[in-house]
Amino acid sequence: MATVQTNRVHIVEVGPRDGLQNDAAQLSPAVRAELIGRLEAAGISEIEAVSFVHPQRVPQMAGAEEVVAQLGKLKANLTALILNERGFERALASGLRRVRYAFPVTEEFARRNQNQSVNEAIELAHTLIKRARHEKMSIGILLAASFGCPFAGRVAPDEVLRIAAQIAADAPDELVFADTIGVGNPVAVRTLLRGAVALGVPEMRLGGHFHNTRNTGYANAVAAIEAGAAALDSSLGGLGGCPFAPRATGNIATEDLGYLLREMGISTGLNLEALIEVGRWLSDQLGHELPGMLAQAGDF
Protein backbone atom coordinates (compact mmCIF):
# COMPACT_ATOMS: atom_id res chain seq x y z
CA MET A 1 0.00 0.00 0.00
CA ALA A 2 1.23 3.48 -0.86
CA THR A 3 1.81 6.17 1.74
CA VAL A 4 0.44 9.69 1.56
CA GLN A 5 3.10 12.10 0.33
CA THR A 6 1.37 15.38 1.18
CA ASN A 7 0.35 17.26 4.30
CA ARG A 8 -2.14 19.50 2.49
CA VAL A 9 -5.17 18.73 0.32
CA HIS A 10 -7.48 21.25 -1.34
CA ILE A 11 -11.15 20.54 -0.67
CA VAL A 12 -13.55 21.67 -3.39
CA GLU A 13 -17.04 22.01 -1.94
CA VAL A 14 -19.60 20.95 -4.54
CA GLY A 15 -22.70 20.98 -2.33
CA PRO A 16 -24.27 24.15 -3.79
CA ARG A 17 -24.13 22.50 -7.21
CA ASP A 18 -23.80 18.72 -7.18
CA GLY A 19 -25.30 18.46 -3.72
CA LEU A 20 -28.49 20.35 -4.49
CA GLN A 21 -29.04 19.30 -8.11
CA ASN A 22 -30.36 15.86 -7.17
CA ASP A 23 -32.50 16.91 -4.21
CA ALA A 24 -36.29 17.12 -4.46
CA ALA A 25 -36.27 20.56 -2.86
CA GLN A 26 -35.64 23.62 -5.01
CA LEU A 27 -33.94 26.32 -2.98
CA SER A 28 -34.20 29.95 -4.03
CA PRO A 29 -31.12 31.81 -5.34
CA ALA A 30 -31.05 33.81 -2.09
CA VAL A 31 -30.86 30.67 0.07
CA ARG A 32 -28.23 29.12 -2.20
CA ALA A 33 -26.16 32.30 -1.95
CA GLU A 34 -26.50 32.20 1.83
CA LEU A 35 -25.32 28.58 1.83
CA ILE A 36 -22.19 29.56 -0.09
CA GLY A 37 -21.46 32.36 2.36
CA ARG A 38 -21.88 30.02 5.32
CA LEU A 39 -19.56 27.47 3.72
CA GLU A 40 -16.86 30.09 3.23
CA ALA A 41 -17.18 31.13 6.88
CA ALA A 42 -16.61 27.47 7.85
CA GLY A 43 -13.21 27.43 6.15
CA ILE A 44 -14.08 26.36 2.60
CA SER A 45 -11.78 28.14 0.15
CA GLU A 46 -13.00 26.57 -3.12
CA ILE A 47 -16.71 26.25 -3.90
CA GLU A 48 -18.48 24.94 -6.99
CA ALA A 49 -21.20 27.52 -6.63
CA VAL A 50 -23.55 27.13 -9.60
CA SER A 51 -24.17 25.23 -12.80
CA PHE A 52 -25.06 27.09 -15.97
CA VAL A 53 -27.46 24.53 -17.39
CA HIS A 54 -30.96 24.91 -18.81
CA PRO A 55 -33.48 25.15 -15.94
CA GLN A 56 -35.77 22.67 -17.66
CA ARG A 57 -33.00 20.07 -17.44
CA VAL A 58 -31.98 20.80 -13.84
CA PRO A 59 -34.58 23.05 -12.17
CA GLN A 60 -32.62 23.06 -8.89
CA MET A 61 -29.92 25.09 -10.66
CA ALA A 62 -32.27 27.75 -12.05
CA GLY A 63 -31.29 31.35 -11.37
CA ALA A 64 -27.51 30.81 -11.43
CA GLU A 65 -26.88 34.43 -12.40
CA GLU A 66 -29.01 35.56 -9.44
CA VAL A 67 -26.95 33.43 -7.07
CA VAL A 68 -23.69 34.92 -8.34
CA ALA A 69 -25.08 38.47 -8.17
CA GLN A 70 -25.99 38.03 -4.50
CA LEU A 71 -22.61 36.67 -3.42
CA GLY A 72 -20.76 39.96 -3.29
CA LYS A 73 -17.06 39.88 -2.51
CA LEU A 74 -16.23 36.48 -1.08
CA LYS A 75 -12.65 35.39 -0.50
CA ALA A 76 -13.39 31.84 -1.59
CA ASN A 77 -12.65 30.82 -5.17
CA LEU A 78 -16.03 30.31 -6.85
CA THR A 79 -16.42 27.94 -9.78
CA ALA A 80 -19.27 27.32 -12.23
CA LEU A 81 -19.93 23.95 -13.81
CA ILE A 82 -20.63 24.13 -17.55
CA LEU A 83 -21.72 21.51 -20.08
CA ASN A 84 -21.38 23.48 -23.31
CA GLU A 85 -20.18 26.72 -24.86
CA ARG A 86 -23.38 28.52 -23.94
CA GLY A 87 -22.63 27.71 -20.30
CA PHE A 88 -19.15 29.21 -20.71
CA GLU A 89 -20.62 32.41 -22.10
CA ARG A 90 -23.10 32.66 -19.23
CA ALA A 91 -20.32 32.14 -16.69
CA LEU A 92 -18.19 34.79 -18.36
CA ALA A 93 -21.08 37.27 -18.41
CA SER A 94 -21.79 36.62 -14.71
CA GLY A 95 -18.29 37.75 -13.73
CA LEU A 96 -17.05 34.39 -12.49
CA ARG A 97 -13.42 33.70 -13.31
CA ARG A 98 -13.35 29.93 -12.82
CA VAL A 99 -15.23 27.23 -14.73
CA ARG A 100 -15.30 23.46 -14.93
CA TYR A 101 -16.34 21.72 -18.12
CA ALA A 102 -17.69 18.22 -17.46
CA PHE A 103 -18.45 15.45 -19.91
CA PRO A 104 -18.92 11.66 -19.66
CA VAL A 105 -16.24 9.41 -21.11
CA THR A 106 -18.72 6.91 -22.62
CA GLU A 107 -20.70 7.40 -25.80
CA GLU A 108 -24.24 6.67 -24.59
CA PHE A 109 -23.88 8.76 -21.43
CA ALA A 110 -22.39 11.64 -23.45
CA ARG A 111 -25.33 11.49 -25.83
CA ARG A 112 -27.90 11.39 -23.05
CA ASN A 113 -26.20 14.02 -20.91
CA GLN A 114 -25.01 16.52 -23.53
CA ASN A 115 -26.22 15.29 -26.90
CA GLN A 116 -22.70 14.88 -28.27
CA SER A 117 -20.15 12.17 -28.92
CA VAL A 118 -17.06 11.74 -26.77
CA ASN A 119 -14.88 13.04 -29.61
CA GLU A 120 -17.09 16.11 -29.93
CA ALA A 121 -16.79 16.63 -26.17
CA ILE A 122 -12.99 16.44 -26.40
CA GLU A 123 -12.96 18.97 -29.24
CA LEU A 124 -15.16 21.29 -27.22
CA ALA A 125 -12.75 20.91 -24.29
CA HIS A 126 -9.92 22.14 -26.54
CA THR A 127 -12.06 25.11 -27.61
CA LEU A 128 -13.08 26.03 -24.07
CA ILE A 129 -9.52 25.83 -22.77
CA LYS A 130 -8.41 28.23 -25.50
CA ARG A 131 -11.31 30.58 -24.76
CA ALA A 132 -10.55 30.49 -21.04
CA ARG A 133 -6.92 31.34 -21.71
CA HIS A 134 -7.99 34.28 -23.88
CA GLU A 135 -10.33 35.55 -21.15
CA LYS A 136 -7.73 34.90 -18.44
CA MET A 137 -10.08 32.50 -16.69
CA SER A 138 -9.21 29.31 -14.82
CA ILE A 139 -10.64 26.14 -16.34
CA GLY A 140 -10.89 22.58 -15.11
CA ILE A 141 -12.00 19.53 -17.06
CA LEU A 142 -14.02 16.86 -15.24
CA LEU A 143 -14.19 13.39 -16.79
CA ALA A 144 -17.50 11.96 -15.63
CA ALA A 145 -18.10 8.22 -15.28
CA SER A 146 -14.36 7.58 -15.23
CA PHE A 147 -14.80 4.35 -13.28
CA GLY A 148 -18.13 3.09 -14.57
CA CYS A 149 -21.14 4.17 -16.60
CA PRO A 150 -24.82 3.59 -15.79
CA PHE A 151 -25.42 2.62 -19.43
CA ALA A 152 -22.16 1.09 -20.70
CA GLY A 153 -21.01 -0.63 -17.52
CA ARG A 154 -17.34 -0.83 -16.60
CA VAL A 155 -14.98 1.64 -18.25
CA ALA A 156 -11.47 0.56 -19.22
CA PRO A 157 -8.74 2.67 -17.53
CA ASP A 158 -6.78 2.79 -20.79
CA GLU A 159 -9.76 4.48 -22.50
CA VAL A 160 -10.07 7.08 -19.75
CA LEU A 161 -6.34 7.77 -19.87
CA ARG A 162 -6.50 8.08 -23.68
CA ILE A 163 -9.05 10.86 -23.24
CA ALA A 164 -7.08 12.38 -20.35
CA ALA A 165 -3.95 12.55 -22.51
CA GLN A 166 -5.80 14.52 -25.19
CA ILE A 167 -7.08 16.95 -22.56
CA ALA A 168 -3.69 17.26 -20.88
CA ALA A 169 -2.12 18.27 -24.19
CA ASP A 170 -3.75 21.69 -23.67
CA ALA A 171 -2.74 21.83 -19.97
CA PRO A 172 -5.99 22.96 -18.34
CA ASP A 173 -5.66 24.25 -14.80
CA GLU A 174 -7.29 21.13 -13.41
CA LEU A 175 -8.17 17.57 -14.48
CA VAL A 176 -10.66 15.67 -12.32
CA PHE A 177 -11.59 11.99 -12.49
CA ALA A 178 -15.19 11.56 -11.37
CA ASP A 179 -16.81 8.41 -10.03
CA THR A 180 -20.27 9.62 -10.99
CA ILE A 181 -22.16 6.48 -9.94
CA GLY A 182 -19.94 5.32 -7.08
CA VAL A 183 -18.49 2.12 -8.54
CA GLY A 184 -14.78 2.92 -8.23
CA ASN A 185 -12.28 1.19 -6.00
CA PRO A 186 -8.84 2.20 -4.66
CA VAL A 187 -6.91 0.09 -7.20
CA ALA A 188 -8.75 1.71 -10.11
CA VAL A 189 -8.29 5.15 -8.58
CA ARG A 190 -4.54 4.67 -8.24
CA THR A 191 -4.34 3.44 -11.84
CA LEU A 192 -5.97 6.58 -13.25
CA LEU A 193 -4.18 9.06 -11.01
CA ARG A 194 -0.78 7.53 -11.57
CA GLY A 195 -1.47 7.45 -15.29
CA ALA A 196 -2.37 11.13 -15.17
CA VAL A 197 0.79 11.97 -13.21
CA ALA A 198 2.81 10.14 -15.86
CA LEU A 199 1.45 12.52 -18.50
CA GLY A 200 3.93 15.02 -17.07
CA VAL A 201 1.89 18.23 -16.88
CA PRO A 202 2.90 19.67 -13.49
CA GLU A 203 0.88 22.88 -13.91
CA MET A 204 -2.33 20.81 -14.23
CA ARG A 205 -3.81 20.07 -10.80
CA LEU A 206 -5.17 16.55 -10.48
CA GLY A 207 -8.35 15.87 -8.54
CA GLY A 208 -10.91 13.24 -7.65
CA HIS A 209 -14.69 13.43 -7.39
CA PHE A 210 -16.11 10.46 -5.51
CA HIS A 211 -19.62 9.35 -4.67
CA ASN A 212 -20.21 7.09 -1.71
CA THR A 213 -23.00 5.14 -3.40
CA ARG A 214 -21.52 1.77 -2.43
CA ASN A 215 -19.57 2.97 0.62
CA THR A 216 -16.20 3.14 -1.17
CA GLY A 217 -15.91 6.91 -1.52
CA TYR A 218 -13.61 7.60 1.40
CA ALA A 219 -11.25 4.73 0.57
CA ASN A 220 -11.11 6.09 -2.97
CA ALA A 221 -10.35 9.59 -1.69
CA VAL A 222 -7.35 8.34 0.30
CA ALA A 223 -6.15 6.29 -2.67
CA ALA A 224 -6.35 9.39 -4.88
CA ILE A 225 -4.14 11.37 -2.50
CA GLU A 226 -1.66 8.51 -2.33
CA ALA A 227 -1.46 8.47 -6.13
CA GLY A 228 -0.96 12.20 -6.68
CA ALA A 229 -4.27 14.04 -6.39
CA ALA A 230 -3.93 17.50 -4.91
CA ALA A 231 -7.65 18.21 -4.65
CA LEU A 232 -10.79 16.34 -3.70
CA ASP A 233 -14.43 17.23 -4.31
CA SER A 234 -16.94 16.73 -1.52
CA SER A 235 -20.43 17.87 -0.60
CA LEU A 236 -21.74 19.17 2.70
CA GLY A 237 -23.58 16.41 4.53
CA GLY A 238 -22.99 13.91 1.73
CA LEU A 239 -25.69 15.34 -0.52
CA GLY A 240 -25.65 14.86 -4.24
CA GLY A 241 -26.03 12.70 -7.29
CA CYS A 242 -26.50 12.98 -11.02
CA PRO A 243 -30.09 13.47 -12.27
CA PHE A 244 -29.17 11.72 -15.52
CA ALA A 245 -27.55 8.63 -13.97
CA PRO A 246 -29.88 6.07 -12.36
CA ARG A 247 -29.16 5.34 -8.67
CA ALA A 248 -26.30 7.85 -8.50
CA THR A 249 -26.50 8.86 -4.86
CA GLY A 250 -24.56 11.28 -2.72
CA ASN A 251 -21.00 12.55 -2.72
CA ILE A 252 -18.58 11.95 0.09
CA ALA A 253 -19.45 14.35 2.91
CA THR A 254 -17.18 17.37 3.36
CA GLU A 255 -17.13 17.22 7.14
CA ASP A 256 -16.55 13.43 7.16
CA LEU A 257 -13.69 13.80 4.68
CA GLY A 258 -12.26 16.69 6.69
CA TYR A 259 -12.28 14.56 9.84
CA LEU A 260 -10.59 11.64 8.06
CA LEU A 261 -7.84 13.79 6.59
CA ARG A 262 -7.23 15.67 9.83
CA GLU A 263 -6.80 12.41 11.70
CA MET A 264 -4.26 11.36 9.04
CA GLY A 265 -2.28 14.54 9.66
CA ILE A 266 -3.38 16.24 6.43
CA SER A 267 -4.39 19.90 6.59
CA THR A 268 -7.58 21.08 4.89
CA GLY A 269 -8.31 24.39 6.62
CA LEU A 270 -11.85 23.25 7.47
CA ASN A 271 -13.69 24.14 10.68
CA LEU A 272 -15.51 20.87 11.31
CA GLU A 273 -17.81 22.14 14.06
CA ALA A 274 -18.84 25.07 11.88
CA LEU A 275 -19.49 22.73 8.95
CA ILE A 276 -21.70 20.54 11.13
CA GLU A 277 -23.74 23.63 12.03
CA VAL A 278 -24.03 24.64 8.36
CA GLY A 279 -25.22 21.11 7.64
CA ARG A 280 -27.94 21.41 10.27
CA TRP A 281 -29.03 24.72 8.79
CA LEU A 282 -29.14 23.19 5.30
CA SER A 283 -31.12 20.22 6.62
CA ASP A 284 -33.76 22.65 7.86
CA GLN A 285 -33.88 24.36 4.46
CA LEU A 286 -34.32 21.05 2.63
CA GLY A 287 -36.74 19.52 5.10
CA HIS A 288 -34.80 16.29 5.67
CA GLU A 289 -31.70 14.94 7.38
CA LEU A 290 -28.38 14.79 5.56
CA PRO A 291 -26.57 11.44 5.24
CA GLY A 292 -23.18 12.59 6.58
CA MET A 293 -21.99 10.71 9.67
CA LEU A 294 -19.77 13.14 11.58
CA ALA A 295 -22.78 15.30 12.42
CA GLN A 296 -24.43 12.26 13.98
CA ALA A 297 -21.45 11.03 15.98
CA GLY A 298 -19.75 14.35 16.76
CA ASP A 299 -16.08 15.23 16.53
CA PHE A 300 -13.53 13.30 18.59
pLDDT of 244 strictly over 70: no
How many CB atoms within 10 Å of residue 154?
10
In a domain, 184, yes or no: yes
In a domain, 125, yes or no: yes
The residues facing 100 across adjacent strands are 81, 140
At residue 275, the pLDDT reads: 98
pLDDT, tens digit, 9 for 90 and up, residues 116-140:
999 999 999 999 999 999 999 999 9
pLDDT, tens digit, 9 for 90 and up, residues 45-77:
999 999 999 999 999 999 999 999 999 889 999
From the list 224, 164, 230, 155, the residue with the least C-alpha distance to 199 is 164
- Sign of the torsion angle spanned by Cα atoms 162, 167, 171, 172: negative
pLDDT of 6 strictly over 70: yes
At residue 250, the pLDDT reads: 86
Active site positions, annotated: 242
Q: Is the separation of the CB atoms in 62 and 75 below 8 Å?
A: no
Rounded to 10°, the helix 107-114/118-135 angle is 60
The residues facing 140 across adjacent strands are 100, 174
Domain range spanning residue 245? 10-297
From the list 230, 212, 210, 213, the residue with the least C-alpha distance to 221 is 210
In a domain, 1, yes or no: no
For 20, half-sphere exposure in the C-beta direction (CA atoms, 13 angstrom radius) is 31
At residue 27, the pLDDT reads: 98
Query: How many structural domains comprise the chain?
Result: 1
In a domain, 251, yes or no: yes
Tell me, what CATH number does 130's domain have? 3.20.20.70
At residue 4, the pLDDT reads: 63
In a domain, 81, yes or no: yes
pLDDT of 93 strictly over 90: yes
Overall average pLDDT of the 239-251 stretch: 77
Overall average pLDDT of the 227-252 stretch: 88
In a domain, 208, yes or no: yes
- The secondary structure of 278-297 as a DSSP string is HHHHHHHHHTS----SHHHH
From the list 175, 103, 171, 93, the residue with the least C-alpha distance to 135 is 93
- Give the percent of the chain with pLDDT over 70: 97
Query: What is the Cα–Cα distance from 63 to 61, expressed in whole angstroms?
Result: 6
Mean pLDDT of all residues belonging to the chain = 95
In a domain, 281, yes or no: yes
At residue 78, the pLDDT reads: 98
In a domain, 4, yes or no: no
pLDDT, tens digit, 9 for 90 and up, residues 181-228:
999 999 999 999 999 999 999 999 999 999 999 999 999 999 999 999
pLDDT, tens digit, 9 for 90 and up, residues 247-300:
677 899 999 999 999 999 999 999 999 999 999 999 999 999 999 999 999 999
At residue 3, the pLDDT reads: 60
At residue 241, the pLDDT reads: 76
